[in-house]
Amino acid sequence: MRRRDAPTLPDPGLADLAPDQRLRRLELTVTRRLDGLLHGQYRGLLPGPGSEAAGSREYRPGEDEVRRMDWAVTARTTVPHVREVDADRELTTWLLVDASPSMEYGTATLDKRELAVAAVAAVGFLTAGVGNRLGGQVLAPDGIRRFPARGGRTHLLGLLRALLDAPRTDGHPVTPGLHDGLDGLQRMATRRGLVVVVSDFLDGLPDEPDAAPAWEAVLRRLAVRHQVLAVEVTDPRELELPDVGLVTLVDPETGRRREVWTGDPGLRERYAQAAAAQRDQVRDALRRSGATHLALRTDRDWSADIVRHVHAQRRLAAAPAVARGGAA
């Protein structure tokens, strides 16, 4: 008797798996798709030179960059000197993860909070190494959760599990703002390192397009001392409104409701224009603050976006060296 093949079931999405299974799938995705990109580079997400001062030496024309001139030593000795720095042998990565109610929204395979967990997993696994540490804060509806900087895979998995298990919105509590989280992170991150902020950056956006968000100033202060990577998480329905008739829109932060007739083409066009202006406002604020911007969407392959970002950063880091070689 011929046996009929069982129907093929689709693979479960990230939201359908148990927490430990989701972590395992994330780890496999990161190691298979992204591993090797940062081999031998502790600052691979944002490549750059060392930062710890190691004295000065005489300037070598044609070999040294003028921007590394040590003007204080040059003035004392009347001989041009340049600063020397030690390569960073250990990296401390500080995370600020937004788990506010607006991050619970999603219309694709992942919602925004799950995409934030995926981004944290990528950063954690890619920056893991001997002596490297990972710590940070989570902005959750029940307050700010702080994680001291520690090393090891167990610590990273514990942080990811805490993100997955963070409580969802119960009513409409007053979630700590992004400004508060960045201010607290600045007090925690006393040693120079990598700061990664994962959010939709909707908190504190002013109504005036030219005005600065509430979090821009403190993010700029962080970027003075640290390398800052801003991971912006968005959903396609935040950018355009589909024609689905009468819908009730709910503000996840305040609970305000509004009925909208999406069959109006003019309304959909105004919505798309306002959403584009809002994202431009976020992008401009991140650029002014000196942060590197990585945009992730719930309807795209986040691992491919991270791969493209890392390769782009590597090209930018290599460009000055190529230019110097050409000039020589």
Whole-model pTM: value is 0.76
Please provide the distance, in angstroms rounded to a whole number, between the alpha carbons at the two ends of the chain.
79
User: Does the pLDDT value for residue 44 go beyond 50?
Assistant: no
Query: For position 60, what pLDDT does the model report?
Result: 81
Helix spans in 165-264 (H): 178-188, 216-225
Band of the pLDDT at 90, cuts 50, 70, 90? confident
What residues form DSSP beta bridges with 35? Answer: none
pLDDT at 173: 59
- Judge whether residue 234 has pLDDT over 50: yes
Asked if pLDDT for residue 326 goes beyond 90, the answer is: no
Among all chains, which residue has been given the structure tokens 């600045």? 186
- CATH class in words for 92-320: alpha beta
Instruction: Say what the pLDDT of residue 35 is.
Output: 59
Of the chain, the percentage scoring pLDDT greater than 90 comes to 27
Q: Per-residue confidence at 308, pLDDT binned at 50, 70, 90?
A: confident
Report yes or no: 46 and 313 within 8 Å, Cβ to Cβ. Answer: yes
**Which percentage of the chain shows pLDDT scores above 70?**
78
Tokens 């968005």 -> residue = 234
Q: Is it the case that residue 193 has pLDDT exceeding 70?
A: yes
Which band of pLDDT confidence, cut at 50, 70 and 90, is reported for residue 8? Answer: low
The mean pLDDT of 287-311, rounded to a whole number, is: 90
CB 44 within 8 A of CB 316: no
Question: Considering only 51-60, 89-98, 103-112, which range has the smallest mean pLDDT?
Answer: 51-60
Burial of 139 (0-12, 13-18, 19+ CB in 10 A): buried
Range of weakest confidence among 51-55, 198-202, 300-304: 51-55
- Please spell the DSSP secondary structure of 111-130, one letter per residue: -HHHHHHHHHHHHHHHH--T
